[in-house]
Amino acid sequence: MPAAPSELTRSERFKYFSINLLLRGLIGGLNLIPYRRRVSAMGWVLRQLAPITGFHKRVRRNLAYTRPDLSPAEVETLCHEVADNVGRTLAELYAGAPFWARARAAPLTGPGLAALNAARAAGQPVVLVTGHFGNYDAARSKLVQMGFNMGSLYRRMANPYFNDHYVKAISATGKPMFQQGKRGMVEMVRHLKSGGNIAIVADMHAQGGQYLPFFGRPALTSTVPAELALKYKAAFIPIYGIRCDNGLDFEVHLSDEIPHSDPVTMTQAVCDDLETQVRAHMGQWFWVHRRWKPMHDTPHPDAPKSPPPPAAGA
């Protein structure tokens, strides 16, 4: 778990506090701009910062590891698209009412919608799983507006100063919010047992998880969402807030309900479904995350073979 300010070194406190001031100042300044321009402006800002902050380097590394078939031009385009989506998402998370209006106007599509409605009618809890894709909070906002009793699990940010600001912003969309950890898990279980629904972003490197294939590469993945669905007899449904071409609106898509079997099989189904969505909208997934840790030295099976070394004396 990220450290509290009192547990940081003096230099770490200075670094995190400075970044907190910079981010809050940037967000506060952008909030003075009309919403439509603000979202696109934040996308532009992140596109300019991405090469400096190492975002592009991380995106290229992840793509080289999982999609070596992409051309340099395609990779360069994705670097900019990913940064733009991250920037837009950041602006939207702090926008409040204008973002909620866009999200709540989103069409609700996909075969999982029938399962969601059936669970609601039966008073059955639902575990909704998503990824850092499009704007994952758009889906939660849509369901809150529709009257679903939505709780969400979140991971505390490494920057303790900015974390409080972040939690306040995401809590405004809807409560309850459960911080990842022992206490949060107890509260989340209580919510599920009462028939509530929870949303979990399930595509982060997770200590204690299972190495499961994602884009053909082993990624350490938590099986806890599937375990919760099994233990509390909850419907298990992938959900996504897919960004539309205009960069401002969304489609909230629910994939097929994942049938109960065992935690690894169900979690692999989550990974496969997310991969399908990402392949259809490559620029909308957060390729900046360290999803594949540690990076393995073995080449991707689809990577072009290196030519053999020249014979001695050639």
Over residues 23-78, the pLDDT tens digits come to 778 777 877 899 999 999 999 999 999 999 889 999 999 999 999 999 999 999 99
Average confidence (pLDDT) over 15-19: 82
- Structure confidence at residue 263 (pLDDT): 97
Name residue 182's amino acid: K
Which of the 8 DSSP states describes residue 250?
A: E
Q: Give the lowest-confidence range in 30-44, 65-79, 148-162, 241-255.
A: 148-162
Helix, strand or coil for residue 240?
A: strand
Q: Per the structure block, which two tokens stand in for 107?
A: 């069409």
Whether cis (ω within 30° of 0) applies to the bond prior to 176 is yes
- Structure confidence at residue 172 (pLDDT): 67
The mean pLDDT value of the chain amounts to 87
Best CA proximity match to 43, nearest among 243, 206, 307, 186: 243
Residue bearing tokens 């940037």: 26
Q: How confident is the model at residue 295 (pLDDT cuts 50, 70, 90)?
A: low
> Residue 200: beta bridge partners?
129, 153
Best CA proximity match to 81, nearest among 62, 55, 101, 106: 55
Roughly what angle, to the nearest 10 degrees, separates helices 136-145 and 72-93? 40
Q: How confident is the model at residue 310 (pLDDT cuts 50, 70, 90)?
A: very low
| Between 2 and 162, the higher pLDDT residue | 162
Whether cis (ω within 30° of 0) applies to the bond prior to 294 is yes
Q: How confident is the model at residue 309 (pLDDT cuts 50, 70, 90)?
A: very low
Q: How confident is the model at residue 303 (pLDDT cuts 50, 70, 90)?
A: very low
Instruction: Kindly report the number of other CB atoms within 10 A of residue 179's CB atom.
Output: 17
How far, CA to CA in Å, does 246 sit from each of 40, 85, 132, 242? 10, 12, 19, 12
- Structure confidence at residue 298 (pLDDT): 47
| Between 69 and 301, the higher pLDDT residue | 69
Instruction: Kindly report the number of other CB atoms within 10 A of residue 121's CB atom.
Output: 8
pLDDT of 183 strictly over 80: yes
By percentage, how much of the chain surpasses pLDDT 90?
60
pLDDT tens-place string over residues 94-109: 888 999 999 999 999 9
- Structure confidence at residue 259 (pLDDT): 98
Got the DSSP string for 86-102?
HHHHHHHHTT-HHHHHH
pLDDT of 302 strictly over 70: no
Helix, strand or coil for residue 126?
A: strand
Q: How confident is the model at residue 305 (pLDDT cuts 50, 70, 90)?
A: very low
Helix%, strand%, coil% for the chain, nearest 5: 50, 15, 35
- Structure confidence at residue 260 (pLDDT): 98
The whole-angstrom separation of Cα 46 and Cα 82 is 9
